[in-house]
Chains A and B, each alone.
Chain A
Amino acid sequence: MTTKESTPAVDAGMPSFSDVCEGWHRAAENLDRFNRMLTTDAKIAQTPKEVVWTLNKAKLYHYIPVVPEQDRKPVPLFMVFAIMNRPHVLDLRPGHSFVEYMLRHGYELYLMDWGEPGPEDKNMCFDDYTLEYLPRAIRKFKSISGAEEFSMLGWCLGALISTMYAALRPDDGLKNLMLLTAPLDFSDQEAGGFTRWSSNPAFNANTIVEKLGNVPGEMIDSGAKMLKPIENYFGSYSMLWDKIENPGTVEAWHAMNTWVRDIIPMAGAAYKQLINELYKENKLVKGTLQLRGETVDLKKLKANLFNVIAEADHITPPCQSESIMDLVGSEDKELFRVRGGHIGIMAGRGAEKNTWPHMESWLSARSGG
């Protein structure tokens, strides 16, 4: 409470005693709030859902629809997130959730949660994710929903898995494929820190996996943060301090930080495959990548394709996603560029205005019976 009845000296710039007390009190409160933001978890992934299938650590969620049955789209949407993060970022917080948004627009939504690999999963590779887990989950939700056709949304490594699946199983009923920041083409060995680091001869993925089994989440997390060290290790926190009295910003930061802190390891064999066969040898684009003895031929990918690229993506630089447009066999394909970063385009403040409506309207036009 600021006192307005101040002396001329105070008006000239000298704070009153009550101002000083109030200021220090506010600073203490802000410090306490700041500390809480760093050390506690926000409630994320709150949209009601049910587990409809499990296999090993993987779970398939079905979100409870919010619109009457007659208003729902007949083609369900199946979402596949990356294997080294939790998928909760798709349903970050009530009022700002892609899942909520799509449910409101009448989609039947399924989400694949790969779970946290244990030491027994160190031999899991993309062959398993793409040809064992994914087809089984798809079989399950198709039997539940009764739909013959479905749409698939893949994000980051989930987009890589979705692309490989779409190319290997083009007749499984996949009608629409939406890719978000998909790391597919590594021909430019100087694009992005990950490509540079992993292409250096001193970096040996085989040794990491041989010694550690699975790649620790902390290692992946610090690698990602080191791509933009100042922003991630300092900028993010100083931004929080700047906006500490703004409840909306603080709540958004807390939710995002909760997701970022929830790190999981990556299965060793998948990591080795990613670095050696994709980052280093670029086998997918060269057409030499084989999963379970089957060659992944991108020309066989026939589903309608919506490829979303984040223009300021430092994890998957745009050049790693763009070239797929000329390589796939899809006739209906669209490249959509959004201003923003790898996660920001879907979970940032502008997502609800700049990204989600475009994705929804593209999908809606192709989700009829």
Chain B
Amino acid sequence: MSQSNDKQTFDPFDPTGMLKQMRDSNMETWSKVMTEFVNTEAYAESTGAMLDAWLTTSGPFRKAMESSMGQAMAQMNMPTRDDITRLAERLTNIEMRLDDLDARLSEGAQSNNTQTTN
């Protein structure tokens, strides 16, 4: 929203005017610094370690939650997430077979048509 001729003066209508001036003078430097930083070994190592720590600490909670949900669903005679997942996997396999059958039928129909025309 700020116009280029506003650069030297304070614009009371532009709430980000001052921020913009700061940005214009510093962003390129910041960008360079940050891009270099995320490309360091130290960053890679700390990110990897943090991710690992998060996965390790949250793992037991997730497992406990899944297990208790599984038990609750079983008590109510409802399928669990694992049941649905297994069913979906089977459906995909069936879909693949149907796809192959469909392709064969189309091929058969096409060759029949060709023979009829000949």
Chain A residues within 8 Å of B, Cβ to Cβ: 15, 20, 23-24, 26-27, 30-31, 53, 55-56, 118-121, 123, 132, 136, 139-140, 143, 193, 196-197, 199-204, 207-208, 211-212, 226-231, 234-235, 238, 241-242, 244-245, 314
Contacts and interface: CB of A to CB of B under 8 A. Distances in A.
A119 B89 CA distance: 10
Interface of chain B, main secondary structure:
helix
Interface of B: 1-2, 12-16, 19-20, 23, 27, 30-31, 34-35, 38-39, 41, 43-49, 51-52, 55-56, 58-59, 62, 81, 84-86, 88-89, 92, 95-96, 99, 103, 106-107, 110
Contact of B85 (A30, A55, A120, A132): A120
Can you list the 10 inter-chain pairs with the closest CB atoms, starting with the nearest?
A202-B48, A23-B13, A120-B88, A203-B48, A200-B44, A230-B31, A120-B85, A211-B55, A56-B92, A197-B44
Given A30-B1, A238-B23, A20 B12 contact: yes
A149 to B, nearest CB: 18
B45 A119 contact: no
Nearest to B29: A230
A55 B12 contact: no
Highest count of chain B CB atoms <10 Å: which of A15, A53, A200: A200
Contact of B38 (A20, A119, A193, A208): A193
A241 B45 CA distance: 35
B99 A208 contact: no
A230 B84 CA distance: 42
Contact of A118 (B12, B39, B88): B88
A40 B20 CA distance: 25
A2 to B, nearest CB: 12
Contact of A227 (B38, B52, B95): B38
Nearest to A228: B35
Contacts of B38: 193, 226-227, 229
B67 to A, nearest CB: 15
B56 to A, nearest CB: 8
A193 B52 CA distance: 18
A27 B92 CA distance: 53
12 contacts: A23-B13, A30-B1, A31-B15, A53-B99, A196-B41, A197-B43, A197-B48, A200-B48, A204-B52, A211-B59, A228-B31, A314-B35
